[in-house]
Amino acid sequence: MGIFANLFRKNSRQTSSKNVEDFSLLTRVYFQSVIASNLGITNIRFVPDVANFKRLFKIPTQGGRLGQAEKSTSRKMLMQDYGLSENFFKEIDSSVKRLCRSQNDVQTYLFMYQGFSNDLMMLIGTLMQWKFRVPSIFKGALRSMTQKTVHDICTKTIWKKDDVHKTAAAVRQYKERLGYSEAWMAEYVYNIIILAKKEPKNKNAEEEKKEK
């Protein structure tokens, strides 16, 4: 619960509390909120991340529909704290609407999305190894590198290494089935890269404080 709390904490020393875990949790809240709202889910245990989010921020149910208020709140937080675009959310909405037509579709969808996310990030880690060392201040360069790598994953069908070839093929299949664009993938990956690059410094700072 402290993880979510950090997102709204006003830090007087202007050090960011944002991290990959916060970003991933908020993204899951948005996904689950869209699903709950679209399908009229009333059992909050069916959407556990929404339940924790709702309880932590004391969000009242809007219009008697679970997910409505949680969707708008998590969306606002993701846009304000991470600078995500309108299209990022529109693509999630469209994907969920197309593939989650009943509650029986939900687990299959979430399982497929998790596989897509895991394979994509594993591939990015392999293909962008040295590029991760580019300082975060060069955000424009990092964004361009990320976009190019994602484009290669989506268009290049022959890779030298078998494991890369297989994972790239799997990512392309997930992409087509889920309906996400290269732009969506690049925006998602770029935010995780930027946040991951900040974490070691934050962790080292915390360790130094403990030693003192």
**pLDDT tens digits, 83-105:** 999 999 999 999 999 999 999 99
**pLDDT tens digits, 117-145:** 999 999 999 998 877 677 766 788 899 99
With cut-offs at 50, 70 and 90, classify the pLDDT of residue 194: confident
DSSP tag of 133: G
What pLDDT is recorded for position 208? 47
Tokens read off for 71: 């969707």
**pLDDT tens digits, 201-211:** 544 444 444 44
Nearest alpha-carbon partner for 54 in 4, 106, 113, 117: 4
Quick check: 17 pLDDT over 60? no
Q: Read off the pTM.
A: 0.83
Quick check: 176 pLDDT over 80? yes
- Euclidean distance between CA atoms 120 and 115, whole angstroms: 8
What pLDDT is recorded for position 212? 42
- Euclidean distance between CA atoms 102 and 190, whole angstroms: 32
Phi, psi of 61 (to 5 degrees): -70, 130
With cut-offs at 50, 70 and 90, classify the pLDDT of residue 197: confident
Using only C-alpha atoms, the chain has a radius of gyration, in whole angstroms, of: 18
What pLDDT is recorded for position 200? 52
What pLDDT is recorded for position 14? 34
Quick check: 18 pLDDT over 90? no
- Euclidean distance between CA atoms 70 and 74, whole angstroms: 6
Quick check: 70 pLDDT over 80? yes
- Euclidean distance between CA atoms 198 and 75, whole angstroms: 23
Nearest alpha-carbon partner for 193 in 20, 29, 26: 20
Q: Distance of CA 207 to CAs 12, 39, 103, 201, 212, Å?
A: 20, 45, 45, 10, 9
